[in-house]
Structure 1
Amino acid sequence: MLRLVAYLSLLSTSTGIAEPVSMPELPDIAPIKLEAIGKFGPGASIENSGIVRSRSRDDLFWTINDSGDAPKVYPVLSDGRLWGSARYSDDPGVLIGGAVNVDWEDIAVDDLGNLIVCDVGNNRNDRRDLVLYYLPEPSPHAGRTTYQKKVFLKYPDQALYPSDQSDFNYDCEGVFCVRDKVYLVSKNRSDTLGKLYRLDTANPYQTNTLTYVDAFDFGGKTTAADASIDGRRLAVTTYDALWVFEIDGATDMYFRGKIYWMPFAATQVEAVCFDGRDTILLADEADAEIYKVEFDELTRVDQLEFVPID
């Protein structure tokens, strides 16, 4: 099996920003046919676009739909079965009062007990209203809730709205949270990179500029992201592969850490989350199915040496 060093040269500029990490040369492995362990129930199966495990209880997950649905979060079990609503049994999901589902693409959870609903879809690269909704994690039996704050954001490197076709790289379908920091992985449409950004300020009264962190060549478009609770592992999906990056915890340069990979065959995977440290759940938007992958099923594809940035 080929395990080659990814390209890690640095720009010789005063910025000290690293060049994107090139894709390692990958072994010749046939795509794994993912086997469903369950299927989303009513409501949650409309157009699933994100899933995350609750921090309040181990058997609870939260999922959202894309723009074809009302502004709702859905409490589900790991096999996709829906929690019933005590007050609104005929209307599944928890409605977020005041929120708008323009293009919800992912959901995250922080250490403070907040769900973060990510309205960051930007297919046309023209949005100036990208927003995160922060809400205290509701009871899975609730029918309605509201958000605590909403945070608008923008990319530091986007100059035009819409951006030029040669720089159509400001869409996002992967958002995750490590402790109190939110991170976004871009879905580039002009190339095969995924850029990692960090939200350093979350002021609800201004548009917050993201901080660029790093970039990796995924060889395709990213569709989802999640981090393990300890923040050491980052899972990112494309339409045909699962990538996991592992760091020592002292940095957020995930793409410079150990890299694991698994090609898969599925219809349209658009959601991923950790279920514990070694189990990863993937969800298919088209078929509403849930798949389970164990970390030891992935292949390590790097021999990286972390290069400090002066």
Structure 2
Amino acid sequence: MNKICILLLLIVLQGCAQKPYYGDLTYLGKLPPKLSEISGIVSLDGETIWAIEDNGNKDDIYKVNLKAKITKKFDVKDIKNNDWEDLAKDNLGNLYIGDFGNNFNDRKNLCIYILPNPEKEKGNKIEAEKISFHYPEQTKFPPKKSKLMFDCEAFFYKNDFLYLITKNRTRPYTGKAFVYKIPAKKGSHTAELVGEITTCIDQQFCSVTGADISPDGKTVVLLGSGFIWAFTDFPSDDFTKGTLRTIDVFHRTQQESICFLDNTTVLIADEQSKTKGRNLYSYKIN
């Protein structure tokens, strides 16, 4: 009888000792169910983030602390969440919502919404202005399978422009992403192609799902499902001409969002997928 008790105790202790594995990411907290499909994050103060969800979810932005708890929410007035895929910020703290998710490459209503600095807003609703844009290289909606290059889930702000990195959906998959820039002001604009990059050729992990630029403007990061592509020493608009470092974080989940907390620390959020995800993580870029 004593041997059975000891065996059961060992089994229980072993089970308690097995912690979830997050690879090289540092786990910060479990996001609430209303952010199960978190698609974009950005930090204005280096201590909290603002977050959005993608297609089919509410037209809201959420303030979240570093324990993954919601502390504030705004309803974005008079606009619809067609497919919000990323958040960016400018030097004044204005937010940009990228409503440019385009899974089937058939949308003709791609846009970005400009919101005033939410840290200065009162109440529970926030106004938005609209940037409409199109890709001049796309002439068919949708194009043929080998040219499905016009989905997008990632962008950032730099020097009065928004830089968009497309998500590859080609068949066969090539891993190539286009980099476009658009003026960061309301109106209708033609996106300008400024560069391209091939991350890798495994569709499960290599499509770009998020992006940000460091506060000092010296590092651009792109996110995939388990990978970070970090660019430094870029001389111009085309950051892809800089030095590239590919970082495997050794954690394979549906990672959709990345932002800088400071010049060397990024936050990453993943969507809920079966029993995995819906977490907030940090990672130190050395």
What TM-score range do you get, normalising by the shorter chain?
0.7 to 0.9
Q: What is the CA distance between 1:51 and its match in structure 2?
A: 0.3
Match of 1:256 in 2: 241
Structure 1 residues 36 and 266: alpha-carbon distance in aligned structure 2, compared to 1, 3 A threshold: farther
Larger Rg: 2
The structure with the largest helix share of the pair is 2
Secondary structure of 1:100's counterpart equals coil
Match of 2:198 in 1: 217
Match of 1:72 in 2: 60
Distance 2:211 2:224 in 1: 9
Preserved contact between residue 92 and residue 117 of structure 2 (Cα < 8 Å): no
1:76-95 aligned within 5 A:
76-84=64-72, 93-95=73-75
1:157 counterpart letter in structure 2: E
Distance 1:68 1:107 in 2: 17
Aligned match for 1:268, one of 247, 251, 254: 254
What TM-score, normalized by structure 2, do the two folds share?
A: 0.83
Distance 1:183 1:78 in 2: 27
Distance 1:33 1:53 in 2: 21
Hey, which bits of structure 1, 4+ residues long, moved more than 6 A?
none
Match of 1:98 in 2: 78
Deviations 1:7-46 (A, max 9, x none): xxxxxxxxxxxxxxxxxxxxxxxx9453421122353x23
Deviations 1:189-244 (A, max 9, x none): 1120111111137442x3x1111111111112111111112222111011231111
Secondary structure of 1:166's counterpart equals helix
Match of 2:49 in 1: 61
Aligned match for 1:278, one of 256, 264, 267: 264
Match of 1:49 in 2: 39
% identity of equivalent residues: 31
2:30 counterpart letter in structure 1: K
Structure 1 residues 142 and 58: alpha-carbon distance in aligned structure 2, compared to 1, 3 A threshold: farther
1:219-238 aligned within 5 A:
219=200, 220-238=206-224
What TM-score, normalized by structure 1, do the two folds share?
A: 0.77
Preserved contact between residue 197 and residue 214 of structure 1 (Cα < 8 Å): yes
1:236 counterpart letter in structure 2: L
Structure 1 residues 203 and 95: alpha-carbon distance in aligned structure 2, compared to 1, 3 A threshold: closer
Match of 2:127 in 1: 146
Match of 1:37 in 2: 28
Mean Cα deviation higher: 253-262 or 267-276: 253-262
1:196 aligns with 2:186: no
Q: What are structure 1's unaligned runs of at least 5 residues?
A: 1-30, 85-92, 297-310
Distance 2:33 2:74 in 1: 13
Matched residues, number: 251
Distance 2:116 2:184 in 1: 19
Preserved contact between residue 160 and residue 183 of structure 2 (Cα < 8 Å): no
Q: What are structure 2's unaligned runs of at least 5 residues?
A: 1-21, 201-205
Preserved contact between residue 38 and residue 80 of structure 1 (Cα < 8 Å): yes
Secondary structure of 2:240's counterpart equals helix
Distance 1:178 1:75 in 2: 23
Structure 1 residues 108 and 201: alpha-carbon distance in aligned structure 2, compared to 1, 3 A threshold: closer
Q: What is the CA distance between 1:119 and its match in structure 2?
A: 0.3
Measured on the aligned residues, the alpha-carbon RMSD in Å equals: 1.8
